[in-house]
């Protein structure tokens, strides 16, 4: 227990040292640069799998039955995207000044 306390205290003291912090940042940056290609490849593969699963689920819901899915469509089910449209005639209560 005493040995553990000494180790933890030494690490905490070292972590407060600006030189140690700078060196740790450099090491972490190098590790990140080396890991980036693998992370990008894994991210790309995860996106592909997610799109395939989504398309398969949509085909199942729409009753298409499992062929090579249709082209991916963006937007909501009605084909409209973006903000909700309000009434075109304006407010139905009339002017607010009482005329």
**Tokens read off for 51:** 């799109």
Which helix or strand (DSSP H or E) is residue 15 part of? helix 2-15
Average pLDDT (72-88) is: 54
Whether pTM exceeds 0.75? no
Render pLDDT for 23-77 as a digit per residue (tens, 0 to 9).
999 999 999 999 999 999 999 999 999 999 999 999 888 876 545 545 555 555 5
CB 44 within 8 A of CB 33: no
Q: Which residue stretches of 1-99 are H helix?
A: 2-15, 18-62
Q: Provide the residue ranges of all domains of the chain, joining segments of one domain with +.
A: 25-61
**CB within 8 A of 6, min separation 6: which ones?**
none
């Amino acid at each position: 227990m005493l040995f553990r306390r000494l180790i933890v205290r030494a690490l905490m003291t070292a972590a407060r040292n600006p030189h140690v912090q700078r060196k740790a940042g450099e090491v972490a940056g190098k590790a990140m640069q080396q890991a980036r290609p693998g992370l990008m490849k894994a991210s790309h593969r995860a996106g592909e799998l997610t799109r395939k699963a989504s398309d398969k689920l949509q085909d199942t819901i729409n009753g298409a039955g499992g062929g090579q899915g249709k082209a991916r469509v963006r937007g909501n089910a009605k084909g409209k995207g973006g903000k909700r449209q309000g009434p075109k005639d304006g407010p139905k209560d009339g002017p607010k000044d009482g005329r």
